[in-house]
Amino acid sequence: MFERAGISYLILEKATTIRALGSSLGLDASSLPVMEQLGLLEDFYKASKPVRQFNFFNEGVKPIGVVDFSDLKEIGGYPAIILDRPAFYNVLLKNIPKEKIKYNKRVLTITQDEDGATASCSDGSAYLSTIIIGADGAYSAVRQNIYKSLKAKGKLSSNDAKPLGYNQHCLVGVSKPFDPELYPVLKNDYTDFEIVIPKNDPFYAIYMPLPGNRISWAVIQNVPRADDSSGDSFRFSEWGPLAAQEMANYVRHQPNPLREGGGGTLGDIIDNTPSDLISKIMLEEKFFESWYEDRVVLLGDGK
């Protein structure tokens, strides 16, 4: 948006490069109008599939319900679409000049004065700006900085001072291409979410066909509600590649309803998914009341 409006900006990215994370995302009438304003709507349509409906199955892969989304465009002017994250990033990146993104820039502190707001990074660099926008995720360094400042001023609410809560573990991945004859749903020009909910299993699985004969998948486990108050070691010690593989091995028996003739399992899809495109994550849940302080604002999961 800044690029289109001719506003000077710079993006500080913590990672050394954009990672092709193994997950997908959906866009609908709540976000697609913005993409249309930016001239990106057709690019997103080309990189995605429209979502027709959600199909629900029990552990025996017997249908138990349907939620129809096929009339969303008629109702709201835009369909719901699904695409993988790398495709989403590629649409954005090809419209942002390369020199506007600075990689390996981990923001440590943010200070404000009458001249503006300054972001200081771990490599010793610092960037002065009129405003700073924190779009750096659920564990936003920008939010931590402004909350530290608000707390010192006695302006941070008790709710915002509480740690993030979560009650779901999630394993996600995006497969390599499959043979459409083996998985006929890949031939469709739309996507149905195929959701298997076992009665006596703590995990349920979601399968989402993507362009390019690939399948995005997710396995979700409901767990007793917890928080991250134990610190970073608690947050990250059980979420690396080994933990992802352990959970993948534990759920590979789950049935998948996509395979022609039946008999397919989640393991068939896991085995065709590159290990670096499998991630174990927790799904955080928190509503933050404070989303700005003077020249610093938060966007997305950061708020």
On whether the CB atoms of residues 78 and 29 are closer than 8 A, the answer is yes
Is residue 270 assigned to a domain? yes
H-helix or E-strand spanning residue 84: strand 81-84
Is 94 inside a domain boundary?
Answer: no
272 and 129 share one domain: no
Contact 211, 180 (CB under 8 A): no
d(CA 299, CA 138): 10
Q: What is the predicted pLDDT for the residue at 234? A: 43
Q: Which token pair is 147?
A: 């909350």
291 and 144, same structural domain? yes
Supply the pLDDT for residue 233. 38
The 3-state secondary structure of 229-248, one letter per residue = CCCHHHHHHCCCHHHHHHHH
* Number of structural domains in the chain: 2
Residue 80 lies in a domain: no
Q: In this structure, is residue 260 part of a structural domain?
A: yes
Query: Looking at the domain assignment, is residue 294 inside a domain?
Result: yes
Element at 3 (helix H, strand E): helix 2-5
Judgement on whether residues 264 and 298 belong to the same structural domain of the protein: no
pLDDT at residue 236 in the model: 44
Quick one: 216 and 132 in the same domain? no
* 61 found inside a domain: no
Same domain, 146 and 183: no
Q: Is 186 helix (H, G, I), strand (E, B) or coil?
A: helix
Q: Report, as ranges of residue numbers, the positions in the chain whose pLDDT lies below 50.
A: 230-237
DSSP 107-160: EEEEEEETTEEEEEETTS-EEEES-EEE---TT-HHHHHHHHHHHHTT---HHH
CA-nearest of 274, 300, 301, 283 to 22 is 274
pTM of the model: 0.86
pLDDT score, position 284: 74
**Which residues touch 49 (CB under 8 Å, ≥6 apart)?**
81, 82, 83, 188, 189, 190, 191, 209, 210, 211
- Model pLDDT, residue 17: 87
Whether residues 141 and 235 share a domain: the answer is: no
Domain containing 258 equals 165-285
Digit-coded pLDDT (tens) for 179-218: 999 999 999 999 999 999 998 888 999 999 999 999 999 9
